[in-house]
Amino acid sequence: MVDVHTPEQRSRNMAAIRGKDTKPEVRVRSLLHSMGYRFRLHRKDLPGKPDITLPGHKAVIFVHGCFWHCHECRFGMVKPATRSVFWAEKRQSNMARDLRNKQALEALGWRVMVVWECQTKERDPLREQLTAFLPPPHKN
């Protein structure tokens, strides 16, 4: 199968993919904020630089793209037709790194939650997930 984009178009598409402040991440942050939680972003002093850190709750949240981290949804199951070996290895290394980071954080006493990109599309189920993971927000 041939790529539907030229190499230049594909390069431009790949360069536009952001590592932080993605739409799914912003959706989760917005919902958390509306629920009364306050948090820190991308703490470099923690393994994996979690997307969202709630220090008062000793909890971190990673917002993973379904494709990049091999979620079991239809978006995560996509297998690129071009450079398939490269992409398989890249995605497997992402999953291995995710596991190492999770284990390191848990060893430090942090609770870890992963929110998948596909789970950010509907607000109410996401709110339920966050409520189940986090104790009520601190009142100042």
In a domain, 139, yes or no: no
Q: Residue 116 belongs to what domain range?
A: 7-132
Name the more confident of 77 and 1: 77
Q: Edge to edge, what strands does the sheet with 111-116 contain?
A: 40-41, 52-54, 59-64, 111-116
In a domain, 137, yes or no: no
In a domain, 140, yes or no: no
Give the total number of structural domains in the chain: 1
Query: Mean pLDDT in the chain?
Result: 90
Amino acid at 4: V
- Residue 19, token pair as written in the block: 């590592």
d(CA 103, CA 5): 39
Lowest mean pLDDT across 46-55, 57-66, 93-102, 129-138: 129-138
In a domain, 138, yes or no: no
In a domain, 99, yes or no: yes
**DSSP-derived secondary structure for 82-137:** SSHHHHHHHHHHHHHHHHHHHHHHHHTT-EEEEEEGGGGS-HHHHHHHHHHHSPPP
Residue 49 φ then ψ, to 5°:
40, 70
Number of H helices, E strands in the chain: 4, 4
> What pLDDT band is residue 8 in, cutting at 50, 70 and 90?
confident
Please report, for the domain that includes residue 63, its CATH number: 3.40.960.10
d(CA 32, CA 23): 14
In a domain, 78, yes or no: yes
Give yes or no for residue 10 having a pLDDT over 80: no
- pTM across the whole model: 0.85
In a domain, 2, yes or no: no
In a domain, 22, yes or no: yes
Give yes or no for residue 84 having a pLDDT over 60: yes
Task: Tokens 């995560």: give the residue.
Answer: 76
d(CA 8, CA 68): 21
Query: Could you tell me which residues come within 8 angstroms of residue 16 by beta carbon, excluding any fewer than 6 positions away?
Result: none
